Structure 1
Amino acid sequence: MRLIPLMTVAALCVFALMTAASANPDRWRSEWPDTDFENSSVSNWGEILDGGPPKDGIPAITGPNFIPVVTETDIPDMEPVITVEIAGETPRAYPLRYLTWHEIVNDTVGGVPIAVTFCPLCNSGMTFDRRLDGKVLEFGVSGKLRNSDMVMYDRQTESWWQQAIGTGIVGEFNGKELTQLPSWMESFGQFKARNPGGAVMAEPASNRPYGRNPYRNYDSSTRPFLYSGEMPPHDIPALARVVRVGDRAWPVSRLREAQKVTEAGLTIDWTAGQASALDTDKIADGRDVGTIRVRDGQGRDVPHDVMFAFAFHAFFPNGQWMLN
């Protein structure tokens, strides 16, 4: 795990410069013998940095167990979860207290193989369909970062994937896009109130301090971790949250003030009651950053992401900022 408070800025700068200086994939070939580095859309290998842990050093979870929400007594109501609701199936909550330490959960819901992902460094939490080109992929954490965002890999071809955009960037699946499914972050209390018969992911059998945030005070920092790209325009703080739908971004500060915004064919609601997972040492004590729901004109949930502004600008440099 990347324990940011324990690393000095000077050490990070030296580390990043050393990594960028050897900007080619040769140093990774022994660890990734099955990855086709010749098939890549990465124009500058210096953008990909070693984040600290090695391949699978942050262990993804496959086939998690679930328990009824009424029997879960250890998770405080304010703690955030990623909610997945598939028609005809029991709604499922994936607590960020687990995803912070594992980053990827490979699951199957109603016959649909999904990957629930969370990159703490970008606050990006998205759910993808794991089916692609006749294969069911299983994802792991590569230990690499690009624009401070997690680089995932699939165990079938060892292709590398950019989590924030769900796109293959190296290997057999270079240029392929995963299908993003509707899911959203909300508090565990909000999930329980709406889904009293729902299920919540059970605590993994791993030695991790679940419920603790190893990125203390990160979302009030002025600079992202291991990021050297441009800062966002319009004087938007780098680690301000924005709601991304496609290539548009709505600042959460605007949504918090309005509480409901209807434009571009969408209705975006902000509701109080969800703790930040990247604020205080104890996740449940994090400040209230609110819950976002994005729906279309027919009231259907729309795939989206609540990410940091710097990450949106890095991956969508020509994106549209939905300002007042």
Structure 2
Amino acid sequence: MYRTRRAALAGIAAVGGASLTGCLGGRATDSVTGGAEDTGAGAPPPTVDAGYHLAYEADTLVSESLDGGVGKDGIPSVDDPAFRPIAEADMAGNEPVFGVVRGGEAKAYPRRILSHHEIVNDEVGGESVAITYCPLTGTAQGFRRGDTTFGVSGRLVNSNLIMYDRATDSWWPQMLATGVDGSMADETLDEFRVVWTTAGEWATRHPDASLMTEETGYVRRYDSDPYGSYAPLSGYYVRDGTRFPPLASPEDGHAKSVVIGARTATGAVAFDKTTLLSERVLTGTVGEGGPAVIAVADPALSTGYVYRNPDEVAVEPDGDEYRVDGEGGFEAADLPLERLLAFDAMWFAWYGFYPDTAFVGEHTRAGYGG
């Protein structure tokens, strides 16, 4: 039997009530002026053969899901986004954006816009993609969508957005990238990296990038975050509590501290983001005592990358680049090692889904690690 929003009222009261949109709250009272085009159901989304480690069975995740209180598509995806050159953007340089590069094209999606929509069905580099964001877990992830589109189901698990695809109506918890209900249960989406960075950092790295605008087809107060603020840090993003009970809770660390997490078919690893940006290189394993991995920072984008390192080759900073086994000139995103897909997440959310995760670094403050 599903737990409902009512069952989590104690958790909501602990952090204070508010009129919300996003993963949790009610639909915004602003009217819809146009909105998403009817893109049709299409074929099922593309999947990959290699799945990710799951600490829970699919039926357990479904039974632990919560009614977010908004209903299916109560938080509307943006299916016809508009863009302008980032060089023409009138926005603060420290404003968080989600950066994507596909097929030689660079785009940026302002976090404050996605906090009201959570999913943008778009095309980047000639490829149909979905850019997704869950404010409650601090996770931005990208997926190939093929001929279909993704929408917001109105349900959560471990505080995380459950997406659905409009071809099969299957449920996909965003962080897991794995189907848990419907005809595509146990399938794994084709995921790609989304970089949590700032408008100024992304514009410096990609001066020809396009920036998503507020022309979404919906009337929303995009200058108002329903949960708080990242610049400066406030509200939900800095409090140690969560709005809904997590699947599991770590003994150490601030719930809203940020990790860069990676998972394989056999386990998961989380690197504290602030520690990584400070030390530049961290080593660890997938799960406790599993295969060796290494994380390196890209301070210019306030992000990091995780690689398999089975031979435990030496990696060290070399100016803005890195030396690998004595050879220099490698950028953080392009070491001669197998890169794992990784993304930012709030520590409580990562641990909730992966209680058997390895953790590397020092437990630090809440924030986005920048």
Measured against the shorter chain, the TM-score band is 0.7 to 0.9
**Where does residue 219 of structure 2 map in the other structure?**
207
Cα distance in 2 for residues equivalent to 1:271 and 1:320? 23
**Where does residue 335 of structure 2 map in the other structure?**
297
**Where does residue 296 of structure 2 map in the other structure?**
268
Is the contact made by 1:182 and 1:302 (CA closer than 8 Å) also made in structure 2?
no
**Where does residue 92 of structure 2 map in the other structure?**
76
Query: Alignment length, in residue pairs?
Result: 269
The answer as to 2:75 corresponding to 1:58 is yes
The answer as to 2:95 corresponding to 1:41 is no
Q: Secondary structure at the match of 1:169?
A: coil
Cα deviation 1:213-259 (Å, max 9, x = unaligned): 211211221221112432114x1122211110111101123224324
**Where does residue 159 of structure 1 map in the other structure?**
170
Could you tell me the TM-score, scaled by structure 2's length? 0.67
**Where does residue 284 of structure 1 map in the other structure?**
none
The answer as to 2:7 corresponding to 1:8 is no
**Where does residue 125 of structure 1 map in the other structure?**
140
Segments of structure 1 that go 5 or more residues without pairing to the other structure are 13-39, 273-289
Segments of structure 2 that go 5 or more residues without pairing to the other structure are 18-56, 229-234, 285-291, 306-332, 363-370
Cα distance in 1 for residues equivalent to 2:168 and 2:129? 17
Which residue among 243, 247, 254 is the counterpart of 1:229?
247
Cα distance in 2 for residues equivalent to 1:97 and 1:205? 16
Is the contact made by 1:124 and 1:306 (CA closer than 8 Å) also made in structure 2?
yes
Could you tell me the TM-score, scaled by structure 1's length? 0.76
Is the contact made by 1:63 and 1:108 (CA closer than 8 Å) also made in structure 2?
no
**Where does residue 106 of structure 2 map in the other structure?**
91
Cα distance in 2 for residues equivalent to 1:197 and 1:79? 18
- Which aligned pairs between 1:175-254 and structure 2 lie closer than 5 A? 175-203=186-214, 204-216=216-228, 217-233=235-251, 235-246=252-263, 247-254=268-275
Moved more, 201-210 or 173-182: 201-210
> Residues 260 and 61 (structure 1 numbering): CA distance in 2 closer, same or farther, change over 3 Å?
same
Runs of at least 4 residues off by over 4 Å: 262-265, 299-302
Cα distance in 2 for residues equivalent to 1:257 and 1:11? 33
Shift of 1:314: 1.5
Shift of 1:8: 3.0
Is the contact made by 2:76 and 2:152 (CA closer than 8 Å) also made in structure 1?
yes
Cα deviation 1:16-67 (Å, max 9, x = unaligned): xxxxxxxxxxxxxxxxxxxxxxxx9222654111112111111001131111
**Where does residue 309 of structure 1 map in the other structure?**
347
Q: Secondary structure at the match of 1:52?
A: coil
Cα distance in 2 for residues equivalent to 1:87 and 1:266? 27
Instruction: State the one-letter code of the partner of 1:168.
Output: G
Q: Provide the identity percentage.
A: 32
Cα distance in 2 for residues equivalent to 1:149 and 1:141? 11
Which residue among 139, 150, 167 is the counterpart of 2:161?
150
Shift of 1:269: 1.0
Is the contact made by 1:266 and 1:296 (CA closer than 8 Å) also made in structure 2?
no
